[in-house]
């Protein structure tokens, strides 16, 4: 009678699967989009940080070159002033030389000629130094121009990288939406097929995005060994899974998660020290049986939840029976 009442109550919960299914899909899509956005922001931040470091180094180098150019310009100005002074001295010396040319001034003229030669030599040295400084200034200007060109190229590449990241995000969003829709369609078909082959039984029902089967269908109380009566039911589930594997495209990463649940009463046996071990062992038993029927291991996951995910919090035998269950959930890997 308790199972009958549970069946009638469970049938009332079947009005909401579509709504819960759509809500869970929307949540999955939102989480994935948020992950993609954070990933794109991370790579963008890394690239921008690298560009900023390069720009900082180039700016410091430009500042150093500008200081050097200012210093060279100051030195050039000083040398040009000295050259002007030397030329004035040279003109004065030549004037004095002309004045001294004449009788009785040969000694003074010789000394003046020597001074004049020295002045010319010094003048030539100054001219050579100024020429060298001008060449250095020209080289610095060429280097500054090359640095400015490199900065422009770097800024252009940075903008192109940002555009590529934005385009990648848009394409990932589109691909995600397509994959979510496809997986949603296959999940609905799979649950529909399970409902068809397992029949409309009170101990087997759909709750949200999960297919729920009572543990008593598969296991004896406190045991993780499959009952002989459970094998035909699992064969039907294996048949549906094999059909699903043949139709889902290889680029869609999916798994069928087998979740084991117990009631709140502790077991504490030598084989199962806690409900964790019991629920996990039951999930593993189902997975191993499905693998033995040809289902690929990479499409199966076993999980044990113990007594910590009840669907009925009441402390009654009926609630305990509802909470002892195996759940099947088709989800992304």
Domains assigned to the chain: 2-26+181-332 (3.30.1330.60), 42-177 (1.10.287)
* 203: its two tokens: 């101990």
CA distance 48 to 60: 18
- Check: pTM over 0.85? Answer yes or no: no
Nearest to 46 by CA among 169, 158, 149: 158
Classify 310 as helix, strand or coil: coil
User: What is the pLDDT at residue 69?
Assistant: 72
Contact 281, 260 (CB under 8 A): yes
Q: State the Cα–Cα distance between residues 117 and 106, nearest whole angstrom.
A: 16
* Orientation angle between helical segments 106-198 and 17-100, nearest 10 degrees: 170
Cβ(36)–Cβ(176) below 8 Å: yes
Partners of 210 in the β-ladder = 207
- 263: tokens are 């009631």
How far the first Cα of the chain sits from its last, in Å, is 40
- What is the C-alpha separation between 231 and 328, in angstroms, rounded? 16
Distance CA 291, CA 285 (A): 10
**pLDDT for position 108:** 62
- The candidate with the shortest Cα–Cα distance to 260, out of 312, 302, 217, is 302
CA 295 to the chain's CA centroid: 33
Q: What is the pLDDT along the chain (333 residues), one digit of tens a residue?
A: 444 444 444 445 555 666 667 777 777 787 877 787 787 778 778 777 777 777 787 778 778 777 777 777 777 777 778 778 877 877 777 776 666 665 555 566 576 677 777 777 777 777 777 787 788 778 878 887 888 788 778 778 877 777 777 666 666 565 555 665 666 777 677 666 766 766 566 666 777 778 898 998 899 989 999 999 999 989 999 998 998 888 888 888 889 999 999 999 999 899 999 999 999 999 999 999 999 999 999 999 999 999 999 999 999 999 999 999 999 998 888
């Amino acid at each position: 009678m308790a199972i009958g009442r549970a069946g009638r109550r469970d049938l009332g919960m079947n009005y909401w699967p579509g709504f819960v299914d759509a809500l869970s899909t929307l949540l999955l899509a939102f989480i994935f989009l948020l992950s993609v956005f954070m990933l794109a922001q991370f790579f963008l931040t890394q690239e921008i940080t690298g560009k900023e470091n390069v720009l900082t180094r180039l700016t410091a180098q430009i500042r150093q070159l500008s200081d050097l150019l200012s210093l060279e310009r100051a030195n050039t100005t000083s040398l040009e002033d000295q050259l002007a002074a030397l030329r004035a001295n040279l003109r004065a010396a030549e004037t004095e030389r002309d004045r001294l040319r004449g009788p009785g001034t040969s000694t003074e003229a010789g000394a003046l000629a020597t001074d004049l030669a020295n002045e010319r030599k010094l003048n030539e040295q100054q001219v050579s130094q100024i020429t060298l400084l001008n060449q250095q200034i020209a080289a610095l200007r060429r280097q500054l121009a090359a640095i400015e060109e490199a900065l422009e190229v770097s800024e252009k590449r940075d903008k192109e990288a940002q555009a590529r990241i934005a385009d990648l995000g848009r394409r990932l969003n589109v691909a995600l939406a397509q994959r979510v829709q496809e997986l949603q369609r296959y999940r609905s078909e799979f649950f529909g097929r399970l409902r068809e082959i397992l029949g409309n039984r009170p101990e087997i029902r759909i709750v949200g995005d999960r297919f729920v089967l009572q543990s008593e269908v598969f296991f004896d109380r406190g045991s993780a060994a499959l009952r002989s009566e459970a094998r035909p039911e699992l064969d039907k589930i294996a048949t549906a899974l094999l059909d699903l594997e043949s139709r889902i495209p290889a680029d869609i990463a999916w798994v069928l998660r087998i979740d084991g649940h117990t009631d709140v009463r502790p077991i504490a046996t030598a084989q199962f020290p806690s409900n964790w071990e019991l629920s996990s062992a039951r999930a593993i038993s189902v997975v191993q049986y499905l693998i033995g029927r040809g289902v690929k291991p990479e499409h199966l996951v076993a999980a044990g939840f113990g007594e910590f995910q009840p669907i009925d919090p009441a402390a009654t035998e009926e609630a305990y029976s509802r909470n002892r269950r195996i759940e099947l959930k088709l989800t992304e890997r």
